[in-house]
A and B are shown apart, each in its own frame.
Chain A
Amino acid sequence: MKKHWYDYLWIFSSVYLALGFFNILFAWIGLICFITPLLISIIRGSKVYCNKYCGRGQLFELLGGKLGLSRKKMPPKFLRSKWFRYGFLTFFMAMFLLMIYNTYLVFCGTTLKEAVTLLWIFKLPWQWTNTSFVSPWIAQFAFGFYGVMLTSTVLGLVTMILFKPRSWCVYCPMGTMTQGICKIKHRKAACGGANHVGNSAE
């Protein structure tokens, strides 16, 4: 099958994660992965970002599929349930807002915490990166945002190993949010106007 440029976006995701170890300020680049899917779903009303351009999904596919690091077992049913997906999205967004609030506190004069929070609990010391040439709040956002990205990668890797390579896609907060936006945009189709079981997409 013919490869496209976007089939190599897993390189972008891998480089992004690596860059964070050299200088945390590179974490800001990750905003692309937040803003792009949202804009696509809002403007075009589609999940084309998940379908084609998600580098993280491609990375899991590569590690779990081609490199065989996944057990390739069926994930538990609750993972795809509306309650779990939207619950996880709510929790993820609450943690994201908390991170923004911490950035605001540093902006107001609180001391910068040079640590990356993994899985919302573990504080990993990250003092080796030089952030002295930017305002403390810029560095604080980078630490917080990198924590969000690292946490989602770790969760994705765990579910990749335990279940299917792209199990993360099932409960990915961005995927849930963009699908929710598409549901709002295409209300009629989402409310059972189209029976998609075995039917063609028109």
Chain B
Amino acid sequence: MSPIKKLACIAKDCVACGRCVKECPVGAISVYKGLYAAVDKNKCIGCGKCVKACPAGVIELMAREAETA
């Protein structure tokens, strides 16, 4: 199990502006085919910087267990 407890999760109404991509310190987020931002859960450290940066407010931090369950 990952020692990192949190994971950024992006809701469906993401506008794909790419603001979170710029903010992510570990390069865990990328914009998928201009449709939405996608988080690489193996890279995400759950720092929450993307949550603060997202202008649409569609990113939230969730417990890893809850997300993977």
Enumerate chain A interface residues (CB-CB to B < 8 A).
41, 45-48, 50-52, 57, 61, 72, 74-75, 77, 79-82, 85, 163-170, 175-176, 178-179, 181-183, 185-186, 189-190, 194, 196-201
Tell me the nearest residue of chain A to B7, going by C-beta.
A198
Is A196 within 8 A of B57, CB to CB?
A: no
Is B35 within 8 A of A189, CB to CB?
A: yes
Q: How far is the CA of A77 from the CA of B15 in the complex (A)?
A: 13
Interface size on B, residues (CB 8 A): 39
Is B18 within 8 A of A47, CB to CB?
A: yes
User: In the complex, what residues of B have CB within 8 A of residue A196's CB?
Assistant: 10, 12, 14, 32, 35-39
Q: Judge whether B26 is part of the interface by a CB distance below 8 angstroms.
A: no
User: In the complex, what residues of A have CB within 8 A of residue B12's CB?
Assistant: 196-197
Is B55 within 8 A of A164, CB to CB?
A: yes
Min CB gap A74→B, angstroms: 5
Tell me the nearest residue of chain B to A44, going by C-beta.
B34
User: In the complex, what residues of B have CB within 8 A of residue A41's CB?
Assistant: 34
Q: A-B pairs with the 9 shortest C-beta distances?
A: A51-B18, A182-B34, A200-B40, A47-B34, A201-B38, A169-B17, A201-B32, A166-B55, A80-B56
Q: List 16 additional contacts besides A51-B17, A197-B11, A198-B10; criterion CB under 8 Å.
A: A46-B31, A48-B34, A50-B17, A51-B21, A51-B31, A52-B18, A75-B55, A164-B53, A167-B55, A181-B34, A186-B33, A198-B8, A198-B68, A200-B39, A200-B41, A201-B31
Min CB gap B46→A, angstroms: 11
Is B31 within 8 A of A199, CB to CB?
A: no
User: In the complex, what residues of B have CB within 8 A of residue A50's CB?
Assistant: 16-18
Min CB gap B44→A, angstroms: 8
Is B33 within 8 A of A57, CB to CB?
A: no
Is B32 within 8 A of A170, CB to CB?
A: no
Is A170 within 8 A of B55, CB to CB?
A: yes
User: Could you jot down 10 A-B contacts, CB within 8 Å?
Assistant: A45-B33, A46-B33, A51-B16, A51-B31, A169-B56, A170-B56, A186-B33, A190-B35, A196-B32, A197-B11
